[in-house]
Structure 1
Amino acid sequence: MMGFSTSVVRFLAIYKGENNKSMMKGTLILALVFPLMASLAIGSLIFATSNWAAVNLFQKPELGFVFKGFACALPFYTLMLICAACARGFKQVKRYNSLINLLQPVIELLGVAGLFIIGYRLGGTIFGFGFSSAIAAGVGLYWMVQMFRSMELHRVPAQYEVGKQLAFSLSTLMIGVVHMLIIQTDRLMLGALSTAHNVGIFVVASLISQNARFILQSTNSIFPPIIADLYHKGDTQRLVSTYKSVTWLITALTVPLIFVFCFMSSEIMSLFGSEYASANRVLIILSLFQFVNVAVGSAGFLLVMTGNQKLEAINSWVVAFLNVVLNYIFIPKYGAIGAAFATGLSTGIINLLRVLEIYRFYGYHPYKFSHTKIIASSAIALVFFIAMKSIFSLGYLQNIIVAILSIVVYFYTLYRLGIDEEEKSLFLATKEKLTFKR
């Protein structure tokens, strides 16, 4: 995508707020042309060198077919992502989610499952991915044409800011590349400095803990274009109010997930085998640091959408370097626990840095007084859980029941302390944007 998935969200939101149809049209064309050209070039290169790479690099000639299949699917998958990003830029979140999280995955799953049943395993997987990407791309392109017509963009000449948008896109591309490196660093270093068993434990715990970001990721599909629009209009008061309320909502809804991952860590890890149950501390550490990530809200997106993408790129490089150093220090002595602590600490530091940068440049932070209600409700639920474990000898099933009751206590306490009307309205608005009406 060359970073255009973020660029198109920012610039479409700005130009739509100005009702600048010529710039909207130019932005859409740029977002289509550059990533598609890149995907066609990369796909052609992979296709042309697939047999050579399969034989000389991987020593498995049968992989040539796999490379060719994915090379053919790449342009369609890229087109789907472009269309989804454009829908997000126009604040059409339901269309964005339907392409990314519903249409393409469901068609791929059904296609792969059906072909697997009749005996096409690897070939079925490749065809399922390519076919689902092509269908989703076609639907996305149809929606794009609809948007063009409904906004009458075909009646106006296109205007372009190629240099400005390309520079922004390349900066966000670097951020994405560094984030991918960060995700893989801990696993690679754990494999080099520790045992394969520790790698397995860490990967499982890491994948589970990432679900703590579910609410944050859902909100991030809505909030970035709103940031870009409000900041460009100079509506700072509304931007700050929305940022604080969004952060409150994300934090309040994520606390129960953290309770589940921490209170039921042994039970969750044991689902993957009895040898994983003792690694519950890895899941607890990763979950707590994921909560730190959630508790700052959309801080990274706020920096990017307000034109500080270069600063966010520097932040990403800092956390990547810090992650390597901390993993090198902690993994040899503490194994998977050390990797969890190193990764969590580096991520926590960079999120704290983002909050400080936002306060330094704009003079506001993501917190409000009603955050104390979340703290109080969490503390009461935690005391309840600890008291129940101290009084009773809890088995597997009993521990699950007490964990669920703790979540009930949390929500009840939060409700009794009172939820502001702004948070209620935001919750209903978010629910409306993310769900489909019958």
Structure 2
Amino acid sequence: MAVMDTQSATTAASGPIARLRGLAARMLGGTSEASVTRRLAGTIFIIRVISAAIAYLAQILLARWMGGSDYGIYVYVWTWVLLLGSIMDFGIAASAQKIIPEYRTAGNHALLRGFLSGSRWMTLTTSSVIALLLAGLIRLLSPWIDADTIVPLYIGCLMLPPFVIANTQDGIARSHDWMQLALMPQFIVRQGLIIGLTAGALALGLHLGATLAMAASAAAVYIAAISQMIVLNRRLAAHIEPGEKAYDIRGWLAISLPILLVESFYMLLSYTDVLMLQQFRPSEEVGVYFAVVKTLALVSFIHYAMSATTAHRFAEYNALGDRDRLSAYVAHAINWTFWPSLLATATLLMFGKPLLWLFGPKFVGGYDIMFVAAIGLVVRSAIGPVERLLNMLGHQRICATAYAVAFLMNVGLCFALVPRYGGMGAAAATSLSLTFETILLFYVVRARLGLHVLAFGKARPAL
């Protein structure tokens, strides 16, 4: 029954998204790769904006309903779930956007069918084993862990397998340009369920602490992932003829593991600031900083939208050997990442105080942090989704190296700045690391691919 309710919610939510997508299509028009990319990226961006509004509302309500300390614990555990859940698929979610187009282009239908089913079974099995090992580790370390954090951490382990499966299904759906199916279950249905379940707990008179909030989040993750699986299986059955399946697990891992390194260091770089704050500063300060990060999330959504739309096309054009088409497409992706990101950043900084006030009056104290945190996001957007370009063209290792260096730099700066400067130090450390990473990736792409991957400074070919 829960799955049916979730599917109904997805169908209902798709109505306004379909209308907005139709409006974007009329505005952008055309059938070229550029037009198709803008429409798909527009769809993704609209979904992420709607999901951001829902997630923002969820965080505001949770912060007000739970209180500073419990909210800080919830944010800490949820950050670990996001971090670990995003890398426990061994890079399969990201590599799907390389493997699936290459199988299609080469006509390897047996391998394609094997990957579509086998990749999900593989990630489900491995993530379940890792989750059990992590639960055992928590038990061993429990004497040194805050007592109020232990049960939420166990619940976090419980939700890791469906979280990983949802990420894998996201990658498969994106490779078929099914952007609504890829994103809506995780970013709209799941967030809506978190609000509904926690509100229901309050209505029943239950105390909404970190444990209950994590339990509600776990239920939402399971329902959204199962619903997505049902719909994805139906679409794949209609899209791909049944037949023999072949499994090249060694080949999948050869592609995926280097991408996993990239994704791992990217996620570590994204969440190091929050995790380091939890170690050195009070939970209330972690909550304030997390509110700042959530407020600036719109900027990263633009980068995410272009990455999700362009990755499998990078792989396709490279497989076809069409260098001119690839170069023009990369330039287009960079322009449509940087300039909208710059505009979004300026808008968010302009309205930052009232947005933070929605979390509670004390959260306004994080407004100054927004300016420092925004620097790294804007600088990073200036080279667009080049990490996807490197991954899709077989340069995963050098990309992972650049991310690793930036991550280590972030850890060192956080150790130096967070104990003394708190959230401001965390924001400065992250922005400096992102700026350094941007410079590294720019030179890597120019040296390896001969491309000028900057939103300005050189004339660009039309697509």
TM-score between both structures, scaled by the size of structure 1: 0.72
Q: Which runs of 5+ in 2 are unaligned?
A: 1-88
> Which one of 295, 307, 323 corresponds to residue 236 of structure 1?
323
Residue identity in the other structure for 1:74: L
Matches within 5 A, 1:328-367: 336-367=423-454
C-alpha contact (below 8 Å) 2:262/2:400 kept by paired residues = yes
Does 1:173 pair with 2:260?
A: yes
> Which one of 338, 342, 347 corresponds to residue 251 of structure 1?
338
Deviations 1:271-325 (A, max 9, x none): 6677776764432222122111111110111111111111111111111222234
Equivalent-residue separation in structure 2 for 1:51 and 1:370 (angstroms): 51
Secondary structure of the residue aligned to 1:221 is helix
Does 1:30 pair with 2:118?
A: yes
Equivalent-residue separation in structure 1 for 2:229 and 2:273 (angstroms): 38
Secondary structure of the residue aligned to 2:384 is coil
Shift of 1:11: 0.6
> Which one of 360, 366, 377 corresponds to residue 290 of structure 1?
377
RMSD: 3.7
Identity, % of aligned positions? 19
C-alpha contact (below 8 Å) 1:72/1:130 kept by paired residues = yes
Matches within 5 A, 1:188-267: 202-264=289-351
C-alpha contact (below 8 Å) 1:331/1:339 kept by paired residues = yes
C-alpha contact (below 8 Å) 1:22/1:153 kept by paired residues = no
Residue identity in the other structure for 1:79: I
Question: Aligned in 2, Cα 1:149/1:296: closer, same or farther, shift over 3 Å?
Answer: same
Give 1 or 2 for the bigger CA radius of gyration. 1
The residue number in structure 1 matching 2:86 is none
Residue identity in the other structure for 1:108: I
Shift of 1:113: 2.0
Shift of 1:26: 2.2
The residue number in structure 1 matching 2:402 is 315
The residue number in structure 1 matching 2:166 is 80
Residue identity in the other structure for 1:317: A
Question: Aligned in 2, Cα 1:76/1:369: closer, same or farther, shift over 3 Å?
Answer: closer
Equivalent-residue separation in structure 2 for 1:89 and 1:160 (angstroms): 19
Residue identity in the other structure for 2:316: D
The residue number in structure 2 matching 1:139 is 227
Residue identity in the other structure for 2:183: N
Equivalent-residue separation in structure 1 for 2:215 and 2:281 (angstroms): 38
Deviations 1:45-80 (A, max 9, x none): 456x4994596454749955x566555443333332
Question: Aligned in 2, Cα 1:265/1:115: closer, same or farther, shift over 3 Å?
Answer: closer
Does 1:11 pair with 2:114?
A: no
Task: Tell me: higher relative CO, structure 1 or 2? Use CA pairs within 8 A at least 6 residues apart.
Answer: 2
Shift of 1:100: 1.9
Deviations 1:79-117 (A, max 9, x none): 322222211122211210122212222233322322332
Question: Aligned in 2, Cα 1:193/1:37: closer, same or farther, shift over 3 Å?
Answer: closer
C-alpha contact (below 8 Å) 1:50/1:68 kept by paired residues = no
C-alpha contact (below 8 Å) 2:442/2:454 kept by paired residues = no
Residue identity in the other structure for 1:310: R
The residue number in structure 1 matching 2:81 is none
Stretch deviating more after TM superposition (10-19 or 337-346)? 337-346
Question: Aligned in 2, Cα 1:12/1:42: closer, same or farther, shift over 3 Å?
Answer: same
Shift of 1:347: 0.9
C-alpha contact (below 8 Å) 1:91/1:225 kept by paired residues = no
Matches within 5 A, 1:34-49: 34-45=122-133, 49=136
C-alpha contact (below 8 Å) 1:299/1:351 kept by paired residues = no
C-alpha contact (below 8 Å) 2:292/2:356 kept by paired residues = yes
Deviations 1:113-168 (A, max 9, x none): 2233213446754553343333323332223322442234422x223332232133
> Which one of 242, 258, 274 corresponds to residue 154 of structure 1?
242
C-alpha contact (below 8 Å) 2:410/2:429 kept by paired residues = yes
Equivalent-residue separation in structure 2 for 1:154 and 1:348 (angstroms): 48
> Which one of 158, 161, 184 corresponds to residue 98 of structure 1?
184
Secondary structure of the residue aligned to 1:222 is helix
Equivalent-residue separation in structure 2 for 1:202 and 1:59 (angstroms): 21
Equivalent-residue separation in structure 2 for 1:103 and 1:267 (angstroms): 27
Stretch deviating more after TM superposition (33-42 or 302-311)? 33-42
Residue identity in the other structure for 1:7: S
C-alpha contact (below 8 Å) 1:13/1:229 kept by paired residues = yes
Secondary structure of the residue aligned to 1:33 is helix
Stretch deviating more after TM superposition (15-24 or 177-186)? 177-186
Question: Aligned in 2, Cα 1:148/1:199: closer, same or farther, shift over 3 Å?
Answer: closer
Secondary structure of the residue aligned to 2:296 is helix
Equivalent-residue separation in structure 1 for 2:227 and 2:257 (angstroms): 28
Stretch deviating more after TM superposition (67-76 or 103-112)? 67-76
Equivalent-residue separation in structure 1 for 2:436 and 2:139 (angstroms): 44
Residue identity in the other structure for 1:150: A
Aligned residues: 373
Stretch deviating more after TM superposition (5-14 or 276-285)? 276-285
C-alpha contact (below 8 Å) 1:182/1:323 kept by paired residues = yes
Residue identity in the other structure for 2:103: Y
Equivalent-residue separation in structure 2 for 1:188 and 1:74 (angstroms): 18
The residue number in structure 2 matching 1:412 is none
The residue number in structure 2 matching 1:430 is none
Stretch deviating more after TM superposition (338-347 or 245-254)? 338-347
Question: Aligned in 2, Cα 1:366/1:178: closer, same or farther, shift over 3 Å?
Answer: closer
Does 1:129 pair with 2:217?
A: yes
Residue identity in the other structure for 1:312: C
Question: Aligned in 2, Cα 1:369/1:259: closer, same or farther, shift over 3 Å?
Answer: closer
TM-score between both structures, scaled by the size of structure 2: 0.69
Question: Aligned in 2, Cα 1:314/1:254: closer, same or farther, shift over 3 Å?
Answer: same
